[in-house]
């Protein structure tokens, strides 16, 4: 596929904030504000004018096809802003707000190749991968181009329940179970650890976090994620956020888009391969 994918994450000493979601070929290059603000991955998405130009595709079993690849659909730079809230509307408890305000983007776990978790998305393509058995859809895997050092998220679609709390060790992605409500995929997740950040701003949470995602493909080129966040340890009340994912523009020859390999190692440096100074090395791929 002919597209330029600059796989780069701002890590060190400058006031860097990684923030680029579905820019569809606009705002090329690096923008700065005392440091790197975002690096455009060069992943062209379907434009607003084209988003409704084709019917919503369906899988052989009749379900709406949510596969993608998509860009966006979650938080990255600031979950409050990215989710459609006004400044100050995110109902953080005082301790959580104070912690967020003390954190620095360069210290976020994701820049050390640790998992981004939910509802985080990086600026690069991702997709839902469906796994079927003779009994039907059993698992959905959420795959990201940068791969989080090879990690992927599993959503169980076989009707199982969440495990009892005393039988579960909190982890980066939690335990996700899904079901369909019409054409909407509903994903219920518990069992998170408290190590990942919701965004580069440093918005925290606790192990009491419970999330519900409602993924609806509203057109050929757009998918909405209505995301409910419930964490009484860090938030004064549940809050619902809304994110929109943009379809990666299909290759004109094959009609599909593929994810590329990315290997992330702890202490790796990013940016140098792209000729950027002072922020490390990176990887550049031409499709």
Sign for the pseudo-dihedral over CA of 176, 125, 24, 123: positive
Q: Which domain holds residue 119?
A: 44-263
Write the Ramachandran bin of 227: left for phi over 0, alpha for psi from -120 to 50, otherwise beta: beta
Quickly tell me which residue has 């019409």 as its tokens: 182
Residue 123 lies in a domain: yes
What is the per-residue pLDDT across 92-119, written as a single tens digit (0 to 9) for each? 999 999 999 999 988 888 878 888 999 9
Residue 279 lies in a domain: no
Using alpha carbons, select from 260, 252, 269 the residue that is nearest to residue 42. 260
Sign for the pseudo-dihedral over CA of 152, 38, 3, 45: positive
In the chain, % of residues over pLDDT 90: 60
DSSP bridge partners of 243: 225
State the virtual CA torsion across 78, 79, 83, 85 in degrees, nearest 10.
-80
Give the count of domains, the chain.
1
To the question of pTM greater than 0.85 for the whole model, the response is: no
Residue 37 lies in a domain: no
For the cut 90, the answer to whether the pLDDT of residue 284 exceeds it is no
Residue 31 lies in a domain: no
Residue 235 lies in a domain: yes
Residue 268 lies in a domain: no
Residue 12 lies in a domain: no
What is the per-residue pLDDT across 146-170, written as a single tens digit (0 to 9) for each? 766 667 899 999 999 999 999 999 9
What is the per-residue pLDDT across 240-267, written as a single tens digit (0 to 9) for each? 999 999 999 988 777 677 888 777 765 5
Burial pattern 5-30, b for ≥16 Cβ within 10 A else e, equals bbbbbbbeebebbbbbbbbbeeeeeb
Write the Ramachandran bin of 158: left for phi over 0, alpha for psi from -120 to 50, otherwise beta: alpha
Other CB atoms closer than 10 Å to residue 146's CB: what's the count? 25
Residue 35 lies in a domain: no
DSSP bridge partners of 239: 229
For the cut 80, the answer to whether the pLDDT of residue 139 exceeds it is yes
């Amino acid at each position: 596929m002919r597209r330029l994918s600059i796989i780069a994450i701002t890590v060190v000493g400058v006031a860097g904030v990684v923030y680029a979601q579905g820019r569809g070929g606009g705002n090329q290059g690096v923008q700065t504000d005392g440091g790197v603000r975002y690096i455009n991955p060069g992943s062209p998405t379907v434009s607003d004018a084209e988003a409704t130009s084709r019917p919503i595709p369906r899988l052989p079993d009749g379900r709406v096809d949510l596969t993608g690849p998509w860009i966006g659909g979650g938080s990255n730079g600031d979950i409050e802003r990215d989710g459609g809230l006004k400044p100050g509307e995110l109902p953080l408890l005082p301790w959580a707000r104070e912690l967020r305000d003390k954190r620095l983007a360069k210290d976020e776990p994701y820049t050390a190749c640790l998992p981004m978790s939910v509802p985080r998305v990086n600026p690069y393509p991702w997709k839902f991968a469906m796994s079927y058995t003779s009994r039907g859809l059993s698992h959905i895997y959420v795959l990201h181009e940068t791969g989080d050092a090879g990690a992927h998220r599993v959503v169980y679609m076989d009707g199982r329940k969440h495990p009892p709390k005393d039988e579960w060790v909190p982890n980066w992605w939690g335990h996700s179970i899904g079901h369909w409500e019409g054409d909407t995929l509903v994903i219920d997740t518990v069992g998170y650890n408290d190590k990942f950040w919701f965004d580069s701003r440093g918005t925290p949470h606790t192990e009491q976090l419970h999330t519900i995602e409602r993924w609806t493909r509203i057109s050929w080129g757009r998918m909405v994620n209505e995301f409910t966040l419930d964490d009484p340890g860090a938030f004064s009340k549940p809050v619902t956020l809304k994110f929109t994912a943009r379809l990666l523009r299909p290759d004109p020859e094959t009609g599909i888009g593929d994810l590329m390999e990315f290997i992330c190692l702890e202490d790796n440096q990013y940016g140098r391969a792209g000729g950027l100074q002072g922020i490390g090395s990176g990887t550049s791929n031409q499709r």
